[in-house]
Structure 1
Amino acid sequence: METTAAFLGLDCIDCGQRFDADTQRCPDCGGILDPTYDYDTIDLTHKNLAERPFDSMWRYEELLPFPRETAITMDEGATPLVECEKLAEEMGVGRVLLKDEGRNPTGSFKDRGQTVAMTAAAQEDASDIALASAGNAGQAAAAYAGRADIDSHVFLPSRAGFTNKAMVNVHGGDMTVVGGRIGDAGAAYADAMADEGEEDGWHSVQTFVTPYRHEGKKTMAYEIVEQLDWEAPDAIVYPTGGGVGLVGMHKAATELRDLGLIDDLPAMYAAQSTGCAPIVEAFEEGKERHEPIEHPDTICGGIEIPDPGASPWILECLRKSGGGAVATPDEEILESAIAVAKGEGLEMGATCAAAASGAWKLADDGEFDADDTVVLLNTATSNKDSDVLRSHLMGKGI
């Protein structure tokens, strides 16, 4: 595989062993693999980054595993960081900004992960890729697989949104819709990987099976701090299911600090629904690992992950960054999406609005200072689930 000059390999976050770029999960202990680099050889400065066009997440290729010229890309990333003065006033903080990932090619931040994961698959000459998804990652995978001339096999729960299902088909994906929730789709994916996948050589682009999805999503943090003139925000509030973007952004901020490009780390906050909040519960109880939620109950399908396999890593990132975790009811999440749309004109996805409702609760609880800069992650466009928001309004007679 063709990798960037500083890329050293994949380190297991559990046992510390290092493996080649084409490895998926640690073959020794089954742990998650994380790309690592020789940071002493990376020469990135504020000046040379300023000289590059702000056109794609691949502008940070020195800190990515693969060269930009090899990327399966649709110019994902380089999304706006939008000032929200009304939200700042209402929350009683210095600034609130919304990182609008809905402007990516397939309408979500999943594109950042899939561009890197699909680049790895293409370099390995994969003929087929497979994954289970709540919706957005499946749509993104089908799109990037199509661009790479790779067949895709996407397993979605029946509750996934119509847009996701339709676009998997439109992009040419082989879609299996499974009755139930994300865990049921994951089980069907696992069965298929053990059967057809093993026989036909399917390449997995599943969360934390491929080492490259969190690596792509870390670029959100690079962009945020550059858009803030190389000042890390005081807090980043992230709607959290599997936590891929959260651990990626914390890694990115740590890299920028160690490279001397920023001074401080942003405090990372995981925002969940009270109907499925395994990370929040584990954080509040001081645990190093979550307890699975037996009966999740939330309309926010994108963050309804009752058994997040990377919870020890997520919790470590929250604590190391000085952040925390917050859960709010679905009613408040949907109301927050509507409030942001009415007050700021910005369209947050129904699931993504957990970041806004979580930030309001954190502010009410005195978590933020009056001069803090708070960034909310809008991880997907509201067009994915606008029916949920409209139904909520109709239920109120509006």
Structure 2
Amino acid sequence: MTRNPAVRDLTCRDCGDSFDPADATGPCPACGGHLAVTYDLDAVDVSTEAFADRRYEGIARYADLLPFAAETLVTMREGTTPLVPCPDLADEWGVGEVYVKDEGRNPTGSVADRGMALGVTAAAEAGAEDVALPTTGIEGQAAAAYAARAGLDSHSFVPSRATFDAKAMINVHGGDMSVVGGRYEDAVEAFAETVAEEGWHSLAAFETPYRREGHRTLAYELAEQLDWAAPDAVIYPTGEGVGLAGTAAGARDLAELGFVDEVPECYAAQAAGCAPIVEAFEAGATETEPWETPDTICGGIEIPDPAGGAEVLDAVGESGGGAVATVDRDVLEAAVDVAQSAGVELGATAGVAASGARELVERGELGADDTVVLVNTLTGNAEADVLRSHLMSKGI
């Protein structure tokens, strides 16, 4: 496996054992826990000026801080997405600045591209021929696209309620798709049974340690776009948790390297109808409990038993952030408000970042001098029908 020499090993967050990356590509061989890439940051020889010189290379510009060399990455120049200022929202909320990190501008229209670029690279480096994952939709679209680019076959297990567009694009990219009756947890069950039989390389969140690594780059971009200053708060729509966990890890790396002075407070934003991370955070728990009856229009984050629940709770706790849940109507109203005040097309699901931020302002957790970043995890076109239906319900 061609890897960055700064990579030290893969370490299990559950049992603490460490492994050579060439010998472990999935869960911990000792206990089945989640592996994480660990780095010797003292061995990283890179400057902020070097990133500026590579501005057109997408996330590959940060290869010095990633597991693989730039030339080995399966990439479509994902990343380098706009950080859009929203002064009207800042004035309305009474905070210093509001930005939307618009991940809808990625090649397949979602933040999932960052993680899939690294996950598929790892699969290709390991000699896999097939990759597979359970998905609410957008991750399967990204996996199919990057697998196609790498010459691999992809298999997505999708709940029947996933959006038509995501299911269509999985097929357009040549991906095999199993549509599973029921909700996401039913797709997870079908995936687990089939992967065990077929021996496919898993791209499921946290079963591969590499998807999280791709999401570190969001933190790197935020700091760079803010002239190497960390925002005060990052509000992240959260389902399985791989995006927030990766972003928080990237922010910690930047602080340890001395590129920024501090890490942002990270907040997991969820829909009130399925908020296991919020429930656990408010209870002071270190792990999540399955949400018994998930019920939200935000299908992309309707994850009743998130694989990364413990990692997210660690991340928000260590950063001084937290978790916030809002009801569906407020989520959709917030997404529309951002579109009509700032012109940015949030995915309906990503509206939890805006409605969550408003709730945090009302609680007094975001203040007058704070720089607040809302992560728009997917393009508004992906869930345009949901947003339009919300407007129609108001007689518009």
TM category, shorter: over 0.9
Q: For the residues of structure 2 that align with 1:9 and 1:281, how far apart are their CA atoms?
A: 33
- State the AA in 1 paired with 2:301: I
1:340-384 superposed Cα distances (whole Å, 9 cap, x missing partner): 111111100000110000001101111111010000000100111
Matches within 5 A, 1:245-394: 245-394=243-392
Does the residue aligned with 2:258 lie in a helix, a strand or coil? coil
- State the AA in 1 paired with 2:231: P
Q: For the residues of structure 2 that align with 1:388 and 1:47, how far apart are their CA atoms?
A: 43
What is the CA-CA distance between 1:47 and the residue it aligns to? Answer: 2.5
Does the residue aligned with 2:231 lie in a helix, a strand or coil? coil
1:93-147 superposed Cα distances (whole Å, 9 cap, x missing partner): 0000000000000000100000001111111221111111000100000001111
What is the match of residue 159 of structure 1?
A: 161
Contact (CA 8 Å) 2:280, 2:289: kept in 1 or not?
Answer: yes
1:147-166 superposed Cα distances (whole Å, 9 cap, x missing partner): 11111111100010011000
Q: For the residues of structure 2 that align with 1:136 and 1:21, how far apart are their CA atoms?
A: 28
What is the match of residue 14 of structure 2?
A: 14
Instruction: Establish whether residue 180 from structure 1 lines up as the match of residue 182 from structure 2.
Output: yes
Contact (CA 8 Å) 1:129, 1:153: kept in 2 or not?
Answer: yes
- State the AA in 2 paired with 1:34: A
Single out whichever of 345-354 and 48-57 deviates more from structure 2: 48-57
What is the match of residue 235 of structure 1?
A: 233
What is the match of residue 105 of structure 2?
A: 103
- State the AA in 1 paired with 2:12: C
User: Which consecutive residues of structure 2, in runs of 5 or more, have no partner in the other structure?
Assistant: none
User: Which consecutive residues of structure 1, in runs of 5 or more, have no partner in the other structure?
Assistant: none
What is the match of residue 87 of structure 2?
A: 85
Q: For the residues of structure 1 that align with 2:70 and 2:305, how far apart are their CA atoms?
A: 34
Alignment RMSD (CA, Å): 0.9
Q: For the residues of structure 2 that align with 1:75 and 1:48, how far apart are their CA atoms?
A: 17
Does the residue aligned with 2:38 lie in a helix, a strand or coil? strand
TM-score by length of 2: 0.98
- State the AA in 2 paired with 1:380: L
Contact (CA 8 Å) 2:270, 2:278: kept in 1 or not?
Answer: yes
Q: For the residues of structure 2 that align with 1:46 and 1:165, how far apart are their CA atoms?
A: 40
What is the match of residue 122 of structure 1?
A: 124
Q: For the residues of structure 2 that align with 1:120 and 1:289, how far apart are their CA atoms?
A: 28
Aligned residues: 394
1:37-57 superposed Cα distances (whole Å, 9 cap, x missing partner): 111111222233233324301
User: Stretches of 4+ moved more than 3 A in 1?
Assistant: none
Single out whichever of 372-381 and 38-47 deviates more from structure 2: 38-47
Contact (CA 8 Å) 1:207, 1:244: kept in 2 or not?
Answer: yes
Does the residue aligned with 2:76 lie in a helix, a strand or coil? coil
Does the residue aligned with 2:290 lie in a helix, a strand or coil? coil
Contact (CA 8 Å) 1:5, 1:62: kept in 2 or not?
Answer: no
What is the CA-CA distance between 1:21 and the residue it aligns to? Answer: 1.8
- State the AA in 2 paired with 1:292: P
- State the AA in 2 paired with 1:9: D
Provide the identity percentage. Answer: 57
What is the CA-CA distance between 1:13 and the residue it aligns to? Answer: 1.1
Contact (CA 8 Å) 2:158, 2:184: kept in 1 or not?
Answer: yes
Contact (CA 8 Å) 2:331, 2:355: kept in 1 or not?
Answer: yes
What is the CA-CA distance between 1:30 and the residue it aligns to? Answer: 1.4
Q: For the residues of structure 2 that align with 1:166 and 1:305, how far apart are their CA atoms?
A: 22
Contact (CA 8 Å) 1:239, 1:354: kept in 2 or not?
Answer: yes
1:191-219 superposed Cα distances (whole Å, 9 cap, x missing partner): 11122x23xxx111111001100110110
1:225-273 superposed Cα distances (whole Å, 9 cap, x missing partner): 1100011000000001111111111111111111111111100001111
Match of 1:214 among 212, 220, 223: 212
Single out whichever of 264-273 and 18-27 deviates more from structure 2: 18-27
Contact (CA 8 Å) 2:96, 2:370: kept in 1 or not?
Answer: yes
Q: For the residues of structure 1 that align with 2:93 and 2:219, how far apart are their CA atoms?
A: 22
Contact (CA 8 Å) 1:98, 1:378: kept in 2 or not?
Answer: yes
Q: For the residues of structure 2 that align with 1:152 and 1:341, how far apart are their CA atoms?
A: 34
1:25-80 superposed Cα distances (whole Å, 9 cap, x missing partner): 11112111111111111122223323332430110101111111011110000101
Q: For the residues of structure 2 that align with 1:112 and 1:157, how far apart are their CA atoms?
A: 23
What is the match of residue 55 of structure 1?
A: 57
Does the residue aligned with 1:236 lie in a helix, a strand or coil? strand
Q: For the residues of structure 1 that align with 2:229 and 2:52, how far apart are their CA atoms?
A: 15
Contact (CA 8 Å) 1:155, 1:185: kept in 2 or not?
Answer: yes
Contact (CA 8 Å) 1:242, 1:310: kept in 2 or not?
Answer: yes
